[in-house]
Amino acid sequence: MQKKKAKKGAKKRKKSTKKSSKSKVEVTIKRKVLGEAPKEFHFVLKTGEKLKSLQELADAMETMHEDVFKHHVNDTKNDFASWIEDVFEEKGFSKELRKAQNKIESRIKLLQKLVDEVIQEGKR
C-alpha cells in the first residue's frame, strides 16, 4: 500500500510542476528607455514619490505642481534630463529634453519619445 501512495504523490507533484511552468511569462525589453530603472536608480521627486520609468515620469508630470517641476528643472539644472541620460543612457534625448521651456513642453517631448520607441520596437 505504501508504494501506491508514494506513486500517487509523485504524480501530483509532477502535475503541479507543469502547472507552474506554464504560468511563467517572460518579457524582454530591448530598449532600455522603455524599461524600468533598477531600484537604486529610481528617481525621487521633491515630494518623495519614486519614479522607475519614463512612462511614470510622463504620468507624474500630468499632475505635478509647478513648484515641484521647478525644483527639478530650472535655469541651472534639469534633473529629469540628467536621470534619463545617466540611467537610461539616452544622451541625445536628454539634450532635447533640456531644450523644453516648461512642464508642458517637457511632457510632450517625453510622450513623443515613448511613442517613437514603441513604434520602433514594433518594427523589430
Domain ranges of the chain: 32-123
- 50 contact partners, CB below 8 Å, separation of at least 6: 42, 43, 44
**Model pLDDT for residues 55-92, shown as the tens digit of each residue:** 999 999 999 999 999 999 999 999 999 999 999 999 99
Length of the chain: 124
- 117 contact partners, CB below 8 Å, separation of at least 6: 31, 33, 34
- All 3 cell numbers of residue 117? 520607441
Question: What pLDDT is attached to residue 105?
Answer: 97
Q: Are strands 50-51 and 43-44 parallel, antiparallel or unpaired?
A: antiparallel
Question: What pLDDT is attached to residue 29?
Answer: 41
- Between 5 and 92, name the one with better pLDDT: 92
Question: What pLDDT is attached to residue 23?
Answer: 57
What pTM was computed for the model? 0.73
Helices (H) and strands (E) in the chain, counts: 6, 2
Question: What pLDDT is attached to residue 31?
Answer: 54
